Every structure is written in C-alpha cells, then in structure tokens.
Amino acid sequence: MAILVTGSTGTIGTQVLDFLDGHGAEVRALTRSPEKANFPAGVTAVKGDLGDIDSVRAALEGVSTLFLLAPNAPDELTQAMLALNAAREAGVKGIVYLSVFKGEDYADVPHFASKVTVERMIHAYDVPATILRPAYFIQNDMRQKDALLGGGVYAMPVGARGISMVDIRDIGEAAANELLRREQAAAPLPSETYELVGPDALTGETLAALWSEILDRPIGYAGDDLEGLEQRLKSFGPAWLAYDMKLMMRRYQDDGAVATDDDLVRLTALLGHPPRSYRDFAQAATAGWSQN
C-alpha cells in the first residue's frame, strides 16, 4: 500500500515529500502535470486534480494513507469534502489533513471557515485522521525582501496582538511523521489534532526590531493599512483572494493568533525538537539575499 500526497508541487507538499524521502514508504504524488514533476527519487507522479473527482478516485486505488491539502480556491470546501468521501469509499486507513490555526475563532474568514467545516466532517464520521493546524507561514515573509532592503520597512500589517508564525519545514516534518505513523500502523489509529506554531508571538513592531538587528540598519513597521494590503494583493492575484487575505489579517490585528505553552509542548513531541524560530529564518534569508 502507499501514501498519496496532494498539493505535491506547492509550498507545503514539497516539504512533505522531502521529509518522507528515505523512510521506506511507497509514496505517490498527485499532480496535474506528471511530465513536469521534479520529485525526490522513488516518488511516483500520479496525474490528477482535486477538482476532478474521477481522477481522485483513480489516484486513490492502492492507497492506504492520504495527505490532504486542498488549495485556497473558491471551491476549496467542495474539493476537500469530495476527496475525503472518496478516501473513505476507497478504504484509506489514515488521513493527515492540513487545516488552519484559529479556524474556529475566525468564522468570517472564508478559507478558515472552509477548513473548519472539513474538520467537522472528520469528527462527525469518525474519520481516522490527524488534523494539522498551521499558523501563518514564516516563509511568506520572503516576499518582504524589497520592502526591507529597499524601503527600510516591514510591510505586512500583522498588527500588535501577536502571531506565532510557523516554519514550513516544521509543517512538512509534522505531516510526514504522522503519515508514516499511520501508514505503518496495522489498523486505523484514533484521531489527533496538532497546532503547528512557532515559539514567538510576533507583532509588527517586534518584527521590525528583529529585522533592524539582523540587517544592522533601521527598519520600521509600515503600519496596519489593510486597504493598501488588499490593493497590493489584487495587483498580482484574484480579487476574491486579496479580500480573503485582508479579512484574515484584520482578525490577526483584532485578536492575534498566539500559541499556548501546551501547543508548543505537543508540537515539540511530534517533531522531536522545538519548533524553528523566526530569527533562524531571518538570519538564513539575509545570508541568502547577500549572495544575490
């Protein structure tokens, strides 16, 4: 039997495949374009798309464990629920579902509400699943390079409440660990939920101060301008997504998204090490930028 990874060519899917590599499991990766895929040796590319249920059914043949990552799309909920139903019908014994941190609290953010609805289905039908709830990705701030180096500001309007941003490597590692645990089990395992978070409660001001220290130059916080954020996002993406991101950031500003001590203890146990810090990311990013 095999592990099937969806979202395999994206930010998180590639991390999951990297952490699965070398552990002896048969791994398949769902992709719309197998001929273009550049996966680790031993990973089998399978043609398919969560938006095409017939291709999902075909891809699930011979699969015992599923990593389910639905894209942030207008029909995200439909894609995820159809894939879950297809996995149940195919007899998949274990699922690792990528949800979101604070999903239940942010009921007015579309992609958060979608993921919470999928969680409800998992619980309602006692699906043997691990639900992973990642916070805002640390690596999203790679996009801050021009603002930091050219404008001298940290420009993402994260507010003053604090966000426990998570490193994408911790997401990939946590997912791989749970996929392997479920794949290697003789029978379906009880459901688990983990908050995937970082060790720091980061605000606009603390991030500006951290970047000032690392870059050794004054960096300011550009402020909480959500309208400006929406307009910037609309310049290179669809309007619905820009508005969705604005709503998410508004909730970060109003309520924050800070991990508890228990969240960090459980994640540390799952990873086998403490979650990676924003400082480590920023230092590595700065070193990379200096070489370009």
Q: pLDDT for 136-153, tens place per residue?
A: 999 999 999 999 999 999
3-state SS, residue 201: coil
Taking CA atoms, 69 is separated from 74, 98, 289, in Å, by: 14, 5, 30
Tell me the residue range of the domain where 188 lies: 2-135+167-195+260-273
pLDDT confidence of 292, banded at 50, 70, 90? Answer: low
pLDDT at 176: 98
SS3 104: coil
In a domain, 152, yes or no: no
Residue 185 lies in a domain: yes
**In the predicted structure, residue 291 carries a pLDDT above the cut 90:** no
Q: What percent of the chain has pLDDT over 90?
A: 98
Provide mean pLDDT across the span 183-209: 97
Read off the pLDDT of residues 158-186 as tens digits, 9 standing for 90 and up: 999 999 999 999 999 999 999 999 999 99
Q: Say if 143 falls within a structural domain.
A: no
* Bridge partner residues of 95 (DSSP): 66, 129
- Domain-embedded: residue 156: no
Name which of 34, 36, 31 is nearest 48 in CA terms.
31
| pLDDT band at residue 290 under the 50/70/90 scheme | confident
Judged against a pLDDT cut of 70, whether residue 282 lies above it is answered with yes
Structure confidence by residue, pLDDT tens digits, 71-107:
999 999 999 999 999 999 999 999 999 999 999 999 9
Measured distance CA(166)–CA(140) in Å, rounded:
10
Q: How many whole angstroms separate alpha carbon 270 and alpha carbon 276?
A: 13
Is residue 264 one of the residues assigned to a domain?
Answer: yes
Q: Is residue 291 part of a domain?
A: no
Which residues are CB-neighbours of 112 under 8 A, at least 6 positions away?
Answer: 100, 102, 103, 106, 248
Residue with tokens 């508890």: 260
Residue 39 lies in a domain: yes
Q: Is 284 exposed, middle or buried (0-12, 13-18, 19+ CB in 10 A)?
A: exposed
Mean pLDDT of 8-29: 96
In a domain, 279, yes or no: no
CATH number of residue 47's parent domain? 3.40.50.720
What strands lie across the sheet with 2-5, from one edge to the other? 43-47, 27-31, 2-5, 63-68, 94-98, 129-134, 192-196
Q: What is the maximum span of the chain, computed from C-alpha positions, in angstroms?
A: 57
Determine contact, residues 202/162, Cβ cutoff 8 Å: yes
How many distinct structural domains can be found in the chain? Answer: 1
Mean pLDDT, range 260-266, rounded to an integer: 98
